[in-house]
Chain A
Amino acid sequence: MATAALLQDARRWTVLTLVVLILGAGWTFLSRVPPAVTTGGAPPANASPREGFSAPDFTLDLLGGGQVTLSELRGKVVVVNLWASWCPPCRAEMPAIEKVYRANKDRGLEVLAVNSTVQDSEADAAAFVQDFGLTFPIPLDRMGAVSNRYLLRALPSTYFIDRRGVIRTVVIGGPMSEAVIQSKVEDLLEEAP
């Protein structure tokens, strides 16, 4: 075969190797990019619910009164957890989230446990919060806007957001253990504000 014959000719193989490597080096040089063009560099301007992108902003009413806007928490590490009271893995992981929140609140951790109220009820959500003694804010996604913006496909879904507002880890499904949650916030809390 032609390819096999090529291997037997040292000179032709050397030429082929050089041509391939020179073309590759040229292509690599031509396809250089400014760092901000990819998510490996600076945070991208556009928001999307995945690692490396800015977290889509939202403003929601809180259970018990008041409002919260995600972008106003810039400078803190934020865990956005989407849940519903009827969802077993949500029930299983919420005590672990509460424990990690209490342990790290003073280091700059904030938790927004967004209740998917569009598929739950405020009364059930309130009972859930009382049962588990949750101390972090509970935004209510009454119209499903956050669920849509975050492309929610399964409950629970959790987004770990750094101090710059960039999503660093997405965990779909659950339940997450305390070790998983603590390991995910640890590096983010270590980063300078």
Chain B
Amino acid sequence: MFPFIRVGPFLLQLPGLALLAGIWIGSSLAEKEAARLKLNVAAVYNLIFFGLIAGVVGARLAYAARYLSAYLANPLGLLALTPATLSPNAGLVIGLAVAALFGWRKKLPLRPTLDALAPGLAAFMVTLGVAHIMSGDAFGAPAQLPWSIYLWDDYRHPSQIYETIAALVVFAVAWKRPLGQPGAGSNFLLVVALSVAARVLLEAFRGDSVIWPGGFRAAQVVGLLVLAAVLWLTKAWSQPAAPGPLFGEESLNTEAHQ
């Protein structure tokens, strides 16, 4: 694990760089897919951009709100570069809300937009696995196996490598679009379903699971609920008389090619 390298006066956080690369690759793939689906490419790009910015700013503001007196006394602390002062869950919710609001205002059709995001999301999940390899986060449970890695003072499952391989498989499947029906939302649901299924499977080998009463791993329980919802939605969206787009009425936009 090599989480940091120093280049002159700068301390580069490699996992952070891997995630930035993932965002860049994911955005590029989403743009290409948006063009293929004849969506407004600029609007899809901006949806990602504003969602990310809102997510990061929201995560910092939500963290600062928890420690209001400290940040009121020292407001410049809001600009700190450390990721340790972010509230990831709040950032995720705020980022998704802003992206959804942006999509609604730009009248982006929901299902084709989600399909446009699918390969980019799958690619980002690969880089998330790579970031975990670099940082040693999402580490495995102790295990004496021929392929165990020595990490954090113990021999462990190489859970980060499992995660990366699974993400590569999901990406390869997403790239082939086996469910057909381009723009129907099914490719996005497939990426989510496979990613969640992989998490349910691989969480069993993790050493940092949050445990709920009864010894159940929280990520597996939540993952199963999400998987059930996605499988139901996949079937519902495959019906010919499926409901119209939620973001707006404009189904396809040729503006991107103008």
**CA gap between A13 and B63 in the complex, in Å:** 43
B82 contacts A13, C-beta separation under 8 Å: no
Q: 0/1 per residue, B1-40, Cβ < 8 Å to A?
A: 0011010010101000000000000000000000000000
**CA gap between A32 and B204 in the complex, in Å:** 8
**CA gap between A46 and B231 in the complex, in Å:** 41
Chain A residues near B70: list those with CB within 8 A. Answer: 178-179, 182-183, 186
B80 contacts A176, C-beta separation under 8 Å: yes
Contact of A46 among B75, B153, B210, B227 (CB under 8 A): B153
Closest Cβ–Cβ distance, residue B201 to chain A (whole Å): 7
Chain A residues near B180: list those with CB within 8 A. Answer: 1, 4
A28 within 8 A of B: yes
Q: 0/1 per residue, B60-82, Cβ < 8 Å to A?
A: 00011011001101111110111
A143 within 8 A of B: no
Task: Name A8-55 residues within 8 Å CB distance of B.
Answer: 8, 10, 13, 16-17, 20-21, 24-25, 27-35, 37-41, 46-48, 50, 52-53
- When C-beta atoms are compared, the residue in chain B nearest to A88 turns out to be B9
B208 within 8 A of A: yes
A7 within 8 A of B: yes
A53 contacts B152, C-beta separation under 8 Å: yes
Chain A residues near B250: list those with CB within 8 A. Answer: none
B249 within 8 A of A: no
**CA gap between A169 and B80 in the complex, in Å:** 15
Interface residue count on the B side (C-beta < 8 Å):
60
- When C-beta atoms are compared, the residue in chain B nearest to A41 turns out to be B211
B152 contacts A7, C-beta separation under 8 Å: no
- When C-beta atoms are compared, the residue in chain B nearest to A99 turns out to be B74
A4 contacts B178, C-beta separation under 8 Å: yes
**CA gap between A34 and B209 in the complex, in Å:** 11
Knowing A13-B235, A39-B208 touch, does A170 contact B84 (C-beta < 8 A)?
yes
Knowing A4-B181, A179-B73 touch, does A46 contact B209 (C-beta < 8 A)?
no
B197 within 8 A of A: yes
**CA gap between A99 and B150 in the complex, in Å:** 39
**CA gap between A157 and B238 in the complex, in Å:** 53
Q: 0/1 per residue, B203-216, Cβ < 8 Å to A?
A: 11011111100111
B200 contacts A24, C-beta separation under 8 Å: yes
Chain A residues near B67: list those with CB within 8 A. Answer: 179, 182-183, 186
Contact of B227 among A1, A21, A39 (CB under 8 A): A21
A180 contacts B80, C-beta separation under 8 Å: yes
B3 contacts A24, C-beta separation under 8 Å: no
Contact of A32 among B80, B136, B215, B238 (CB under 8 A): B215
Chain B residues near A63: list those with CB within 8 A. Answer: none
Q: 0/1 per residue, A177-191, Cβ < 8 Å to B?
A: 111101110100000
Chain B residues near A27: list those with CB within 8 A. Answer: 200-201, 204, 220
Chain A residues near B251: list those with CB within 8 A. Answer: none
B208 contacts A178, C-beta separation under 8 Å: no
Chain B residues near A3: list those with CB within 8 A. Answer: 178-179
**CA gap between A177 and B76 in the complex, in Å:** 8
Chain A residues near B238: list those with CB within 8 A. Answer: 7-8
- When C-beta atoms are compared, the residue in chain B nearest to A179 turns out to be B77
Instruction: Write 5 A-B pairs (CB below 8 A) sorted by A numbering.
Output: A4-B179, A7-B234, A179-B67, A180-B84, A182-B73
Q: What 5 A-B pairs have minimum CB-CB distances, sorted nearest first? A: A179-B77, A31-B204, A32-B215, A183-B67, A177-B77
